[in-house]
Amino acid sequence: MPRNFFEIPRFHPFAIAIDDDPTEEDTLTDNPRLALIERIATARREWRWANSELVHLEKGVNAWNHWRSRQSEAKPDLSGIDLRGVDLKGVNLSHAKLIRADLSGADLTGANLTGADLGQANLTRANLQGAILVDTDLIWAKLVETNLRKADLRRSKPIEAEFIGADLSEASLADAKLSRASFMDAVLCRTDFSRSKLLEANFSDAILAQCSFADAILIGADLWRAQLTGANLTSATLTGAKLNKADFTRANLSSADLTEVEARGARFMGTVLTGACIQGWEIDSETSLSDAVCDYLYLTRGDRLPEGTRSFMPGEFEQTVRNELMAIEWTFPQGIDWSAFVSACQSVSAVNPDLQLGLQSFEQRASGELVVRLDATGARDRAAVFQQLRTAYQAALPSPKPSAKGAPPEQEPSCHSLWAIAQTLSRVQHLPVVP
C-alpha cells in the first residue's frame, strides 16, 4: 500500500482521518520544483482548510519567503510534513515547527532555519550547505550522510542527534549542546566546536583535522581512531574520554584535562601538551609521544612536573610520562622477600604475554618502609596487574617454620638493607632494571 505524500501526526491539532487508496500510485515527478507543488497540493487536499500557510509554500520558495517577510512574527507549524527530495534552496523556515518532518534528500542549501524545532526530524542525505541553524532544536534528529558544509549551528541543540557519515566541514557548532550525539565516520575538517557540550558524544573514525574544541566539554566522549591532526583542544575537558588509537599529530592540547582518559595506541607526535593534566591517563607501549611539545604538566591538578618553575629538558618529558604512567608503586611495610618478589613477577608475566615488568627504583624510607617502583609496559589494567602481583607474592612466601610449643612461629628474615637488596638483585637475571 503506497503511503500518503503527506502524513499528519496523530498529535497534530488539525489532524483528520485519511484513508490510503490501495490502488493509488505515487505520481511525483523527478523535478524538485514540481515535486514541491505536488506534495503541497496533496497536503492541502488532505489537510483541507486546516493550514492556510501551505498555500504560500505551494507557490514556491520566493512566494513563501515574501509572505514570511510580511509575517515576521509567524511561527508556521509544519510538524510531520513530508517534503522528501524537494527543492527548498534559500527557504525561510526560521522559528518553524518541523517536529518529525521528513526532509530527507531535500535541497535546503542556504536555508534559514534559525530557532526552528526539528526534533526527531529526518534530514538524511539532505543538502544543508551554508544553511543557518542558529538556536535550532535538533534533539533526536537524523542527519545521516547530510551535507552541512559551512552551516551555522551555533547554540543549536542536536542532543542525541545522528550525524553518522555527515559532512560538517567548516561548519560552526560553537556553544552547541551535543551530548550523546553521534558523529561516527563524519567529516569535520576545520569545524568549530568551541565551548560546546559534547558529553558522551561519539566521534569514532571521524575526520576532525584542524577542528577546534577549545574550552569544549568532552567528558566520556568516544574518539576511537578519530583523526585530529592539527586540531585545537586548548583547555578542553576530556575526563574519562576514550582516545584509543586516535591521531593527535601536531594537535594543541595545552591546559587540557586528560584525567582518566584511555589513550592506548594514540599518536601524540608533535602534539602540544604543556599544562595538561594527565591524572590516571592510560597509555601503553603503542602510544607515541615522539616530538611532543611539553614544558610542564600535572600528574594531578596540584602536582606539577617538573617541580617549581623549571621546564622539561629535551627528551625528559616522554621518559617522565612513561615512568609515571606505566609504573606500579608497591610498598612493603615489613620488608620484602626478594625470592618471593621475583617469583611473583615471573608468574604474573607468564599469564600476561604483552606485559613487560621492569624495576624502576626502590627506596627505603625513614619509617622503615620499602617502596619498589615497577615499570608495567603493556599493562592493559595496572590495578589488575598489581592485584595479581600481590596475590602471587603472598603465595610465594615461605611457610613459617615450626616453633617450640608456646612460642610464635619463626619468620624468615626480611631484607631491609639497601646493600643486601643490591646484592640480591645482582643475582637475579629475570627482572630488567629500567634506566
The yes-or-no verdict on residue 411 having pLDDT over 60 is: no
119: pLDDT strictly greater than 50: yes
- Residue ranges and CATH numbers for the domains of the chain are 326-426 (3.30.70)
CA–CA gap between residue 132 and residue 136 (Å, rounded): 9
| Residues near 357 by beta carbon (within 8 Å), at least 6 away in sequence | 345, 348, 349, 374, 375, 376, 431
Instruction: Label residue 375 by pLDDT band (50, 70, 90).
Output: confident
More confident residue, 308 or 32: 308
Please check the confidence at residue 372 and state whether its pLDDT lies above 80: yes
Looking at residue 422, what is its pLDDT?
A: 52
Which of the four pLDDT bands, split at 50, 70 and 90, describes residue 304? Answer: very high
Average pLDDT over every residue of 66-93: 91
Greater pLDDT, 186 or 52: 186
From residue 213, alpha-carbon distances to 174, 209, 232, 253, 287 in Å are: 9, 11, 6, 10, 22
pLDDT at 329: 81
pLDDT of residue 52: 67
> What is the pLDDT of the chain when averaged over all its residues?
84
pLDDT of 423 strictly over 80: no
Say how many Å lie between the first and final Cα of the chain, rounded: 75
- The whole model's pTM is what? 0.73
* Of 135-139, 175-179, 276-280, 281-285, the least confident: 281-285
Q: Are 117 and 138 in contact (CB under 8 A)?
A: no
d(CA 311, CA 186): 38
Q: What percent of the chain has pLDDT over 90?
A: 54
pLDDT, mean of residues 385-410 = 77
The answer to whether the CB of 311 falls within 8 A of the CB of 296 is yes
Q: Quickly tell me which residue has 645482582 as its cell.
A: 426
Q: Give the model confidence (pLDDT) of 160-175 as tens digits.
A: 999 999 999 999 999 9
HEC profile for the chain?
Answer: CCCCCCCCCCCCCCCCCCCCCCCCCCCCCCCHHHHHHHHHHHHHHHHCCCCCHHHHHHCCHHHHHHHHHHCCCCCCECCCCECCCCECCCCECCCCECCCCECCCCECCCCECCCCECCCCECCCCECCCCECCCCECCCCECCCCECCCCECCCCECCCCECCCCECCCCECCCCECCCCECCCCECCCCECCCCECCCCECCCCECCCCECCCCECCCCECCCCECCCCECCCCECCCCECCCCECCCCECCCCECCCCECCCCECCCCECCCCECCCCECCCCCECCCCECCCEEEECCEEECCCCCCCCCCHHHHHHHHHHCEEEEEECCCECHHHHHHHHHHHHHHCCCCEEEEEEEEECCCCCEEEEEEEECCCCHHHHHHHHHHHHHHHCCCCECCCCCCCCECCCCECCHHHHHHHHHCCCCCCECC
What pLDDT band is residue 363 in, cutting at 50, 70 and 90?
confident
The pLDDT score that the predictor gives to residue 16 is 31
Question: Which residue is listed with cell 530557532?
Answer: 115
